[in-house]
Structure 1
């Protein structure tokens, strides 16, 4: 399975249109980790699975999503309610409740990718306003197989960032 993951576009709708035009038919699912600042009725949400961020004020956006397929159980939330700025403990507890194998979140605007207890935790960074040591307007593509997770981060120009390629074995 291939998943595109993006977050924190903060009102920049065109970047999401570009992602849809680039990836429709090339990935199995597209996930948006919140802070779109778009209306919940936007037609773009026909393409993305989306959660509410702290800058999304409409209660029609869900705060968490659990997406299951035959291979993965994906837990997604924006991250502000789980205090992800201070670590992954709270989000890990939420993910364990649903037996997630992949956890997606945003909020910090910082790229993050790690595996703990056979669960992939991924923050795609911000497609519009990066923060932290990696100043890249970014999104990620996860390829999940029976045996491994392969993660590639991309810049807004859709070019892969060679140094931001990760491979984790599943156990």
Structure 2
């Protein structure tokens, strides 16, 4: 299974759309957004992707609370399963405990990926290119015996995404 992961779109719906299309081209079957969507347009992009998606509220998403019935946006930490894999999705990195198979978080605007005590921790970086001139996202491939994390990043002035890959045995 392939899962597209993004975070920290802020007001950059143009970059959010670019990232979602890129992840779909790479075969994403699901989308997970780790918060700070900030504007309804970013939620519309997730919804219009035609992929199964879920997102969580970030610390800058107060204006979106009234839209929680219209879109799949949850309070953090949000626990769920996809094909018997247990996820914890959140924005703020306050609950970084090994109580799920995969823990996804945002907020820091920095890509991270670690496998500790049989738990995979991922921060996909930032979509908004606010802290650095990079648009970032992750494609997570879950196989029977391994996780493959493809970290995609693109300079705001470049045409194509670059990729770094990380693998962990499950």
**d(CA) in 2 for partners of 1:137, 1:19:** 8
Task: Give deviations 1:81-103, integer Å, cap 9, x for gaps.
Answer: x1xxxxxxx321xx51xxx2111
Question: SS in structure 2 opposite 1:21?
Answer: helix
Call closer, same or farther: CA 1:144–1:42 in 2, change over 3 Å: closer
**d(CA) in 2 for partners of 1:168, 1:62:** 29
**d(CA) in 2 for partners of 1:151, 1:54:** 26
Q: How many residues are paired up?
A: 153
Q: Spell out structure 1 runs of 4+ moving beyond 4 A.
A: none
Contact 1:71 1:146 in 2 (8 A): no
**d(CA) in 2 for partners of 1:62, 1:33:** 10
Call closer, same or farther: CA 1:158–1:147 in 2, change over 3 Å: farther
Match of 2:38 in 1: 37
Structure 1, unaligned stretches of length 5 or more? Answer: 83-89
1:54 aligns with 2:59: yes
Call closer, same or farther: CA 1:7–1:45 in 2, change over 3 Å: same
Structure 2, unaligned stretches of length 5 or more? Answer: none
Match of 2:29 in 1: 28
What is the Cα deviation at residue 41 of structure 1? 9.0
Q: 2:75 aligns with which of 48, 52, 63?
A: 63
TM-score normalised according to structure 1 size: 0.78
Cα RMSD (Å): 2.4
Match of 1:155 in 2: 153
Question: SS in structure 1 opposite 2:168?
Answer: strand
Question: SS in structure 1 opposite 2:79?
Answer: strand
1:72 aligns with 2:85: yes
TM-score normalised according to structure 2 size: 0.79
Call closer, same or farther: CA 1:16–1:40 in 2, change over 3 Å: closer
